[in-house]
Amino acid sequence: MKPVAREVLTKVAKGAAKDAGGLPVALLGDFLEVLSKGVAVGKPLTGKQLATYGALAEDAARQGVALRALLDLYLSSAWRLWRHLPAVAAAHSDPERTVTAGEVMLHAVDDVAAALAEGYQLARRALVRAQEAARREFIDDLLSGHADVASVLTRAAGFGMDLSGPHAVAVIKADSPFEHTSPLVPSLERAILGSKGDAQALVAVKNDQLVVVFPAPDQAAVDHVVARLGKGLKPARDGWRMGVGGSGSGVDGVVSSYGEGRDALELADRIGLAGSVVRARDLLVYRVLLRDQPALSALVVSALTPLLKARGGAGPLLETLGAYFETGGNTAQTARVLHLSVRAVTYRLARVQQLTGHDVLVHDERLALQLAVVGARLLDWPGSLP
């Protein structure tokens, strides 16, 4: 039988491309010629031929073509070709040959569809791996502060980020480490895409912690992102805590905010701060105290060393002072927090005054004691100081 004319194959290919939303005809390769010849001789397509279509699917994936559209291109070309096949044209004189042609064609189309899907998925997995590697490299360079600024700004645009505007960073740790492949990463990214600003947020894993870089044009935007992150984390992870840095523009602003978020987590642990969200701005007084650590150490040793003489050591008295200051000097509430009687709390405060000479009811003396108690938490006194 005569082969299908070239102009017919061209017409079929163009029609199929239109059906598939205007995909390039080139993505068909020699499919129509191979299919028509295979039906004519009654043989399935070879493995080598199928590999060609797998390679075309990989190219399509790299071009961003949807798999559904690619399959539509091939399937549309197949049904459009059917009526032009010699075996179909001669169906009235040789119906058995038409049946055989249909079987061969369906078999061939099935094999090609499988090859397309496999090649497409392989390419997509390779692209995802490449994108994840680029993503991790970018986040490392962005947060380290050591990479070329111009390069980082250019690459940021590829992730939908305009770092010229103000951004903030949230650092999240949990009882179990976060993994790069965790579905929580894209889930949280989708959850906060509605935050204020046009740029997208970037969620990545660094040092077993989640790092979220997001637009922070104002405090409302920061609050929105923090709330969405918390909502997404609650059902997914236990024992998580989030440190939120301040906002800043440019690469330096992101690096600074990242450092603040990490420091906020560390400080919160050191001072036993409650709550799952810790904002760097709320810990400024602790950061100020730590900037002059020798002076802070001297204050702690001077004010609190006498407590070591108490029966049972300084621990119970330090705990009482801490609860007393945290409750705003409310003796009854301090007793409830510590599960003590008001009389026991009053006795401990009196004992502090006897040992240190500082009265919590006198403003200046109370301030010195309060700063010393904070310093003891920050410096892990009395374990780390003489």
The reported pLDDT for the residue numbered 384 is: 59
Domain limits at 310?
Answer: 292-379
- Alpha helix stretches (DSSP H) within 206-341: 219-233, 250-270, 284-291, 293-304, 315-326, 331-338
Please say if the pLDDT value at position 172 is more than 60.
Answer: yes
Instruction: Give the whole-angstrom CA distance, residue 339 versus residue 333.
Output: 10
Instruction: Give the whole-angstrom CA distance, residue 99 versus residue 187.
Output: 50
Q: Report if residue 194 sits inside a domain.
A: yes
254 and 318 within one domain = no
pLDDT band at 288 (very low <50, low <70, confident <90, very high): confident
pLDDT band at 194 (very low <50, low <70, confident <90, very high): low
Decide which of 236, 256, 286 is a domain's last residue.
Answer: 286
274 and 155 within one domain = yes
Q: Report if residue 13 sits inside a domain.
A: yes
51 and 78 within one domain = yes
The larger pLDDT score, comparing residue 157 to residue 365, is at 365
222 and 276 within one domain = yes
Q: Report if residue 137 sits inside a domain.
A: no
261 and 157 within one domain = yes
**Total domain count for the chain?**
3
Mean pLDDT, rounded, for 218-240: 88
Please say if the pLDDT value at position 236 is more than 90.
Answer: no
Q: Report if residue 90 sits inside a domain.
A: yes
Mean pLDDT, rounded, for 136-143: 88
224 and 304 within one domain = no
101 and 60 within one domain = yes
The reported pLDDT for the residue numbered 318 is: 92
> Which H or E run includes 15?
helix 6-19
Decide which of 126, 143, 178 is a domain's last residue.
Answer: 126
Q: Report if residue 280 sits inside a domain.
A: yes
Mean pLDDT, rounded, for 131-140: 83
Please say if the pLDDT value at position 48 is more than 50.
Answer: yes
Please say if the pLDDT value at position 128 is more than 90.
Answer: no
pLDDT band at 196 (very low <50, low <70, confident <90, very high): very low
255 and 166 within one domain = yes
Q: Report if residue 134 sits inside a domain.
A: no
Mean pLDDT, rounded, for 366-374: 89
CA-wise closest residue to 209 among 171, 246, 235: 171
The reported pLDDT for the residue numbered 330 is: 94
Please say if the pLDDT value at position 199 is more than 70.
Answer: no
244 and 313 within one domain = no
The reported pLDDT for the residue numbered 151 is: 85
Mean pLDDT, rounded, for 344-358: 93
Specify whether the CB–CB gap between 317 and 308 falls below 8 A: no
Decide which of 271, 286, 301 is a domain's last residue.
Answer: 286
Segment among 50-59, 130-139, 197-206 with least mean pLDDT: 197-206
Please say if the pLDDT value at position 374 is more than 80.
Answer: yes
Please say if the pLDDT value at position 312 is more than 50.
Answer: yes
245 and 193 within one domain = yes
Instruction: Give the whole-angstrom CA distance, residue 203 versus residue 179.
Output: 12
Q: Report if residue 132 sits inside a domain.
A: no
Pairing of β 166-173 and β 209-215: antiparallel
248 and 301 within one domain = no
Within 8 A by CB and 6+ apart from 159, the residues are 135, 138, 200, 202
Kindly report, residue by residue over 4-27, the tens digit of the pLDDT.
889 999 999 999 999 999 999 999
Kindly report, residue by residue over 57-79, the tens digit of the pLDDT.
999 998 989 999 999 999 999 99
CA angle at residue 379 from 377 to 382, to 5 degrees? Answer: 80
CATH number at residue 345: 1.10.10.2840
Please say if the pLDDT value at position 232 is more than 70.
Answer: yes
116 and 23 within one domain = yes
pLDDT band at 97 (very low <50, low <70, confident <90, very high): confident
The reported pLDDT for the residue numbered 156 is: 84
Q: Report if residue 145 sits inside a domain.
A: no
